[in-house]
Structure 1
Amino acid sequence: MKTILGGAAATIAIAISSAACAAPAAPVQQGLPGYWVGTYEVGADINFLRPHFTAAGKATVDLPSFEKKGLPLDGVQQEQGKVRFALPGPDGVLQFDGSVRGDLLAGKVTLNGKEGKFAFRRTLSDDPQRHQPLLGAYQFPDKHIVVLSEWGDFPQMFYSDMRSGRYASMFADSDSTYYAGAGNLNPAVRETTMRFEKDKSGNVARMVWQQDGKRQTARRLQFRSEEVTFRNGDVTLSGTLVLPEGKGPFPAVVLTQMSSPAPRGAYALQAYYFAAHGMAALMYDKRGVGKSTGEFNKATMEQLADDAVAGIELLGKRADINAQAIGTWGHSQGGWLAPLAASRSQKVAFVIAQAASGVPPAEQEVYRIENVLRASGFSDDEVRAGAAYQEKLMRWVTSGGANRAELLAAARAGDNARWASHVEIVPDTLRDKPRAESTAFYSYDPLPDLKNLKAPVVYILGEKDAFVPVHKSAALFKETLDKAGHKDHQVWMLPRAAHGLWETDIDGGNAYINSTHWAREHYPRMTQWLRERGFIK
């Protein structure tokens, strides 16, 4: 989740009254036993939890954002609707005191003397097999599309309205009914309900959608998914080709990956978006992930780009794909891979690069640390000190170990600094030289290869991106492509957009938990860009 959305520190107002629900609730169950989802906020500490209470008095909690499952809850007490339990953590013990009212468990939470609020709603157990048959794109009578997909770092289903940009995670009342809250991972207030209906063959065919007092029925678009494999040298890539309704040959897009080891399903939102607009989309497991062989953390950028090129070659040989209309798309690190693959293939018809950096990873890391420390409330002196240490670490990596003594001295000086937990403080046993693959990666310059790019390209950047120096990057992309005589390039700066291209004022921390929209002009504008170039109707 955090890999995809970035995140930001923000305050969330948790409504604890079930009377505020925007849509009818499912039949109410009684008592504490069962599965719950929701958030707590105390000071700057905000998180999404999945507690589970059994009739035998045992209790555990999952923290999906941190990939933690089954952590024990302590001191669980219930008496006349009042509930008390605790969650030990590295910063102290979170103490929850609340009450159960129907399908809402809410109250106050304290941590180290600070007091806040929590609210959890009853749901079914977290079972990806339940929601897998529901994923896809749904079209309403006015032709607008809502996509159901999963977050990349844990299998949480969410919806995305491709016209308004509204999105939120979805939680199950039953196998056929779900609800979503007013914030992405904050279901305290039910804003939307969805009921799924099947056809005579038992396949999901419709979604009955209720939001803001209005009920609509959307038709599920009947995509076809085909498992495919392709090779780049001795590496075998495994993926899924999503084909749209109708007859081909279809334009197509290869979805390149971010730096995280998320599997192909992390790119389903984009695959379904493109398929809903008549384009085939290839999403595949990064090398060393899922069913793909190889090791991504030992691969060069060129090797990762050539994985995408192998996907382009696969599509170009298919009769149901228009070989003259195959593009690449990528986000973050994929924003380097998509244009790099196009420059190496010369068979690419368009490139969409999102949240891409115009500077090498070493410089980007220093920028990121500055923003992380600032967003975490550190003083200007602490921000400068932390960034200075990070710069020395990156210089050691990119130089092949030239400043090892200087780095070690800085590490020992910063051992006890407050900012030390936000960087990698190296030990005295640090090897003489960094690994060759680390030097190659952090030294990678994304600009020189753009001189060989011929396909139309759009760079989509977020104004509030805390991970990428977007204004410097925008200028570098434009300057490089202008000098190369590239004939069709654009650089967009989406207002109030984070690294993950969701709306925020500060990109960092856990603001994604209560976020509500993708950058509102993102998908409509991207659709128009593709339409103007003849790739979609």
Structure 2
Amino acid sequence: MLLVWMLPGVQAAEQPSEWTEAAVQFTSEGLTLNGTLLLPDTPGPHPAVVLVHGSNSVNREKYRGEAELFARAGIAALIYDKRKDGFASSRSGGRSYDLLAADAGAAVEALRTHPRLNPEHIGLWGISEGAWVASLTASRSDRADFLITVGASGVAPVRQQSWQLVNRLQGQGVSSPGVVEALSDRALRLAVSAGMFAEADYNPLPAFEGVKQPVLAIWGRQDRIEPPLESYRLLKQALEKKSESASYRFFDRAGHNLRSAPDGVQQTEEFPAGYADTMTSWVKHVTSGQASGPQTAGDVPQQGHLSKPGLHTIAWYQTAWAQLGTMLVLVVLFLGCWMAFLRRSRRLRREGAASRGTGPRFGTGGLAAGSGLLTVLGFTVYFGWLMSSGAKHVAPIVGDRPLVWLLLQLLAVITCGAAAVYAFSLRKGSGTGTRMCNGLLLGGVVLFAAWAAYWQLFSL
């Protein structure tokens, strides 16, 4: 059952006089959601827009700036708190676009009962991931009168995330193909396999194909988070199947969130010139029954590289079980061998044994085990930190790769080189040890070499 409460007079101390604010509550799928309606002071009934969150936002105040753009132009705007369970962190938890779309639909229904709003002209505005949610809502019901998308991606989430990671790494000076491949491809396959990337292969195009309402799709030309050129082409093709009025607008010197960003990376809090007028005039045009046919305004953006398909296809050796299991086995093997070599070395020193002893010495065998252990543990810590931080800070950079990555590569080479020298000494009959220790070490190094090669630790 839908519940709505409007509490007039809930205003900020310095709120401009162009609008008033009212608290709103509505229920969706058994959960009560709270919001704020910005209602123009001019005579109604007003058209209204529901603002739908992107992936990294939960609190309604995140989109107050956009809501005020609409309210100032005589268009009511609802901002609401996003459900938190499973949705507070980007790409994690029990994320469900179906559930988020239900919330947006419930918000539309809530506004349709307000006496000062025109129930036939309640639309949706969605940014980034919110564009997918809003399009899903619009495709399922004609209760929403129009749709505005900002920074909508036309490719699956995991494909979009990979494209973003490539840009983020290159923006920090990382151009090594091996490092970029490891972090923007293989790391994401691991995350998908481990269930850490909810809705990873969601296809946004069927929802857009089902949208019949007028649509305004907006992108920043300097967007480095989702591929704007690919998205424009894909969404345009999808929307033209049913929507008779779709407009596309590009803003120069603007980033993903349509804030001013000359380089597409560092975004300010300012909206690009013409952004507010483009949206508000379009809404007034549409709600007055003057919707026009498809049109594109602004220079179409360029992309330095295309997004990578097929990331949701995962071979057995790319799965989380295979990779994490391999690293665990390597840690146990190398740690055990290193301790065996260390104990034998200490024993021989205590006994004053000759250089040609009968057990394993620390020497090259111990070096191989120790450097292999450091490589696996160091990679696990560094890799985990990069993934949890989104690879936003990889400095310092040496040449074309991070210094830490270069050190891991050096350790990997030392591991394999020391093992090769030790294996050669066994063939000569010097430094012989127990068969079990030698077999475990050399077998572990073979497994290590395959693992390190997969993660591009031998790439130049």
TM range (shorter): 0.5 to 0.7
Aligned ranges for residues 58-457 of structure 1 at < 5 Å? 132-136=12-16, 220-221=17-18, 223-288=19-84, 297-378=93-174, 380-381=175-176, 385-398=179-192, 401=193, 433-434=194-195, 438-439=197-198, 441-457=199-215
Q: Which amino acid in structure 2 is aligned with residue 525 of structure 1?
A: T
Answer whether contact 1:287 1:296 (CA < 8 A) is retained. no
Q: Which has the higher contact order (CA 8 A, sep 6+)?
A: 1
What is the alpha-carbon distance in structure 1 between the residues aligned to residue 215 and residue 52 of structure 2? 15
Tell me how far apart the structure 1 counterparts of residues 140 and 92 of structure 2 sit (CA, whole Å). 19
Contact 1:368-1:467 within 8 A present in 2 as well: yes
Q: Which position in structure 1 is the counterpart of 2:328?
A: none
Q: Is the 8 A contact 1:459 1:491 kept in 2?
A: yes
- More helix, by proportion: 2
**What SS class does the counterpart of residue 176 from structure 2 fall into?**
helix
Identity percentage over the alignment?
31
Amino acid at match of 1:470: P
Larger radius of gyration: 2
Distance in structure 2 (CA, Å) of the matches to 1:309 and 1:516: 29
Give the AA of the match of 1:461.
W
Match of 1:4 in 2: none
Match of residue 271 from structure 2 = 518
Deviation of the 1:535 alpha carbon = 5.3
Gaps of 5+ in 1: 1-130, 137-219, 402-432
Q: Secondary structure at the match of 2:280?
A: helix
Measure how far apart 1:486 and its partner are: 2.1
Give CA-to-partner distance per residue, 1:169-191, whole Å, 9 cap, x none. Answer: xxxxxxxxxxxxxxxxxxxxxxx
Q: Is the 8 A contact 2:121 2:287 kept in 1?
A: no
Q: CA deviation at 1:516?
A: 7.7
What is the alpha-carbon distance in structure 1 between the residues aligned to residue 36 and residue 28 of structure 2? 17
- Given the alignment of the two structures, is residue 486 of structure 1 paired with residue 243 of structure 2, yes or no? yes
1:528 alignment partner in structure 2: 281
Distance 1:225 1:296 in 2: 33
Task: Indicate conservation of the 8 Å contact 2:211/2:242, yes or no.
Answer: no
CA RMSD in angstroms, aligned pairs only: 2.6
TM-score normalised by length of structure 1? 0.48
Deviations 1:476-516 (A, max 9, x none): 0011122x1421112222122111222333122xx33xx48
- Which residue in 2 is equivalent to 1:500? 257
Alignment-mate amino acid for residue 119 of structure 2: A
More strand per residue? 1
Distance (whole Å) between structure 1 residues aligned to residue 37 and residue 131 of structure 2: 21
Q: Say if 1:264 and 1:485 are closer, same or farther in 2 by CA, change over 3 A.
A: closer
Summarize the Cα distance change of 1:296–1:133 in structure 2 as closer, same or farther, 3 Å threshold: farther
CA shift for structure 1 position 519? 1.9
Distance in 1, matches of 2:108 and 2:92, equals 19
Q: Give 2:220's aligned amino acid.
A: G
One of 202, 222, 227 as aligned partner of 1:469 = 227
Structure 1 residue 461: Cα displacement: 0.5
Letter in 2 for 1:327: G
- Output the amino acid matched with 2:50: V
- Contact residue 124 and residue 146 of structure 2 kept, 8 A: yes
Equivalent residue pairs, number: 276
TM-score (norm: length of structure 2)? 0.56
Cα distance between partner residues in 1 of 2:288 and 2:60:
24
2:29/2:102 contact within 8 Å kept: no
Query: Distance in 2 between the 1:479 and 1:377 partners?
Result: 35
Deviation at 1:536, TM superposition (A): 11
Shift of 1:527: 2.6
